Structure 1
Amino acid sequence: MVDAIVKIKRVVALCLVTVAFPAYSGDPYWLEGRINTQHEIDVYRSESCGCCKTWITHLKEHNFVVRDHVVADVTPLKEQLGVPKQGYSCHTAKINGKVIEGHVPAQAIKKALSNEDIKLLTVPGMVSGSPGMDMPGAPKHAFKVYSVDSEGEVGVFSEYANY
């Protein structure tokens, strides 16, 4: 009888561990915030840019519906949309009246969508380790996502130490 109780306890414990373990073994950081809600985004990039294509893949992994616009020169669009020159990167996107410049993580874009005051997010340059610049073997550098609000004020929207 005691052996039967011990066996039952072990089976119950094993079942609990099997059910509970996935709750503690979260997705990699870059997959956090994935939800079923779809967001449509227009991305403008040059045809030759490989990291832009990889960033688009990152967006799609986060349930963005990407309209990919290949253009000869993205600079006129950046100027038209008011992207500060110190915030320039290789691609520009538009979503729900907001401008996204560079390798901004999908999670930051989703967070900004709920903030009406934010007009622009940017990751200036091409930071190794940011989405789209996270090639195998590439160093993972810390980076910041900067925001520009409706008053033109620039601030740090989010920071990533090991994306």
Structure 2
Amino acid sequence: MAQTNAPFIDRRTVLVTLALAATAGPLAAADTRPRVTIWKDPNCGCCGAWGEHLERAGFPIRMVDVADMDAVKSRLGVPGDLHSCHTAEVGKYVLEGHVPAGAVLRLLAESPDIRGLSVPGMPIGSPGMEVKGMAAEPYVVRAFKADGSSFDFMAFTGSSPAG
């Protein structure tokens, strides 16, 4: 049998390499994406589920329980007609409600001159509002400015952009 100078790679090396490669994407994203600070009512469960959605997308998060959410929304300039469950900050922007990670990524990439994004209400199927056995509702992510004006930013069904 002819002898080669090729290095020998055992099964263990292959498995360890594959495991590291599988986690490299989310870990690298978490190192480069800004932290999302989430203010939420201590008794709310959907807020934590939304935070987990952002973590899966590579965002580091910090949860802060607050008794007076209206004060947080007022301080951060969220227009009353766009209020939802929880309020968050990422970079220079405010996020209100169940804003999908895809909209946050677009927001950060484009860096528009707005105050933030909102998903008013709590649409079934939006991130953190998934209900087993129920179809996701279509909904619109609204962009809002410091003067309180708003406009459509993106449309979604569940966590996926609507075509």
Q: Name the structure 2 match of 1:119.
A: 115
**What is the TM-score of this pair, normalised by structure 2?**
0.74
- Where structure 2 has 5 or more consecutive residues not aligned to the other structure, the ranges are 1-25
Cα displacement string for residues 111-132 of structure 1 (whole angstroms, at most 9, x for unaligned residues): 1113241211000011001000
CA shift, 1:138, in A, is: 2.8
Identity %: 37
Residue identity in the other structure for 2:95? I
2:43 to 41, 44, 48: 48
What SS class does the counterpart of residue 54 from structure 1 fall into? Answer: helix
Native 8 Å contact 2:48 2:128 kept in 1 = yes
After TM superposition, where is structure 1 displaced by more than 6 Å over at least 4 residues in a row?
A: none
2:119 matches 1:134: no
Distance 1:136 1:56 in 2: 19
Cα displacement string for residues 123-159 of structure 1 (whole angstroms, at most 9, x for unaligned residues): 0011001000013223310000000135653110000
* Aligned residues: CA RMSD: 1.7
- Where structure 1 has 5 or more consecutive residues not aligned to the other structure, the ranges are 1-33
Aligned length: 130
**What is the TM-score of this pair, normalised by structure 1?**
0.74
Q: Name the structure 2 match of 1:59.
A: 54
Native 8 Å contact 1:83 1:101 kept in 2 = yes
Distance 1:152 1:117 in 2: 13
